[in-house]
A and B are shown apart, each in its own frame.
Chain A
């Protein structure tokens, strides 16, 4: 493939002419209402950006899943990040999305405004480089995310260890998709009848974890990409299964996802992390749903290195982010949406993140 081919190829997956027949096929296939959840917030934004939700037949309702790492990072950990970032001896590094996420009282931007050294990095390996260049400072990276950011975050610790750095640590808030799907489907309030699984998570993890979930809850699961054509194809495959009463795991993103995923990436994760219970902001504790550093790497664990003491968290009383991320409500059901809560003055993380459902509704002006 030459460069012109890649451009053309990307355009093909965004082409309205190619998307339209798939939408028509969905229209022909559907006979009754179905509720489908796209797990990943990146998919939510793509759906809103290209107006796919408005092109689908009214029988198909898309609800938006918890796949927004910034949104599910627990408030207590954000407050800990703020306390660590306030220390004069610390350079605090983060992915950009995290800076405006509200803690109990402030956010990382306000810590920076007060003189804290808060830096946005492109990759955690950039934070390791900062640690090497600043031996008199403690460099802390806010290691949040799903299975996609786990390999680079894990590798940063392994690399810091290999380089003999003692001034690098990570504040870990890693979460995993399959336990969240169990939590959603096992809830007595569940409305989800089919899933679009997050394509890039499966690039790393493959999709061997999904058949037991599909069988247990009798829901079809379709591994889906991020371009408009990927999304409508995933929806079509899901609708065909729903109409046929089947509940298989299918792959609509084979150009990047294989059944076994990327074993080398998973090996990097396993060398640094072990699974643990994890609290999800707005949703609560989900057993075995996270990763934490292995005990032998505890010297790189910022929570252990910086004992920040008891944190008294204070969550917004109005924000319904948790219900939105479980597919129970839509952003526009929130009384604060677009009024007391906006990207400039967010009450909850989904209004901030480029993967948050509230931000997608606000940005692309959805009122229903």
Chain B
């Protein structure tokens, strides 16, 4: 139940007094409630859980995480090269 599904906000409107978004989940669209995201805009990505958008996904932070872990990858490659050298 805690597994959210990421999707893109492709429309925002008011329905029955609630802020609702049309969300594109890679081709499948569904409505989700945006009441907790008063500042979310069309084109942003969000995490939907039980039909409710929990937060906007930060692309900048995602790239930062991948870039930090990429440094580990490089370190790993260097370490394995050194090991190969030692074995040789």
Q: Output the nearest chain B residue to A17 by Cβ-Cβ distance.
A: B73
Contact with A along B61-88 (1 / 0, CB 8 A): 1101110010011011001000000000
A275: interface (CB < 8 Å): no
Residues of chain B within 8 A of A256, CB atoms compared: 47, 54-55, 57-58
Q: Is the CB of A7 within 8 A of B26?
A: yes
Residues of chain A within 8 A of B69, CB atoms compared: 18, 21-22, 229, 233
Q: Is the CB of B1 within 8 A of A6?
A: no
A173: interface (CB < 8 Å): no
Q: Output the nearest chain B residue to A229 by Cβ-Cβ distance.
A: B69
The docked-state distance in angstroms from the alpha carbon of A131 to that of B65 is: 44
Residues of B1-34 whose CB lies within 8 A of A: 1-4, 6, 8, 16-18, 24, 26, 30, 32-33
Among B18, B38, B79, the residue within 8 A (CB) of A159 is B18
Among A1, A203, A233, the residue within 8 A (CB) of B47 is A203
Q: How many inter-chain contacts with C-beta < 8 Å in the A-B complex?
A: 147
Among B16, B45, B54, B57, the residue within 8 A (CB) of A148 is B54
The docked-state distance in angstroms from the alpha carbon of A201 to that of B54 is: 9
Contact with A along B35-60 (1 / 0, CB 8 A): 11110000001010111101101110
Shortest A368–chain B CB gap in Å is 25
Shortest B84–chain A CB gap in Å is 15
Among A42, A200, A268, the residue within 8 A (CB) of B36 is A268
Q: Is the CB of A6 within 8 A of B2?
A: no
Among A21, A149, A262, the residue within 8 A (CB) of B55 is A262
Q: Is the CB of B2 within 8 A of A146?
A: yes
Residues of chain A within 8 A of B16, CB atoms compared: 159, 163
**Most chain B CB within a 10 A radius of its CB, from A13, A122, A123, A268:** A123
Q: A69-B1, A162-B17 are in contact. Are A126 and B51 (CB under 8 A)?
A: yes
Q: Is the CB of B72 within 8 A of A6?
A: no
Shortest B16–chain A CB gap in Å is 7
Q: Is the CB of B59 within 8 A of A233?
A: no
Q: Is the CB of A1 within 8 A of B45?
A: yes
Residues of A145-162 whose CB lies within 8 A of B: 145-146, 148-149, 151-153, 155, 159, 162
Q: A123-B33, A264-B35 are in contact. Are A9 and B62 (CB under 8 A)?
A: yes
Q: Is the CB of B1 within 8 A of A70?
A: yes
**Most chain A CB within a 10 A radius of its CB, from B3, B16, B24, B64:** B3
Q: Is the CB of B75 within 8 A of A21?
A: yes
Q: Output the nearest chain A residue to B70 by Cβ-Cβ distance.
A: A18
Residues of chain B within 8 A of A10, CB atoms compared: 6
In addition to A252-B65, A355-B1, 7 A-B residue pairs with Cβ atoms within 8 Å of each other are A21-B73, A124-B51, A125-B18, A125-B33, A152-B51, A200-B49, A264-B36
A-B contacts, 5 listed (Cβ < 8 Å): A6-B26, A41-B2, A42-B3, A124-B51, A255-B58
For the complex of A and B, list the 4 residue pairs with the smallest distance between their C-beta atoms, beginning with the closest: A123-B51, A265-B36, A21-B76, A152-B52
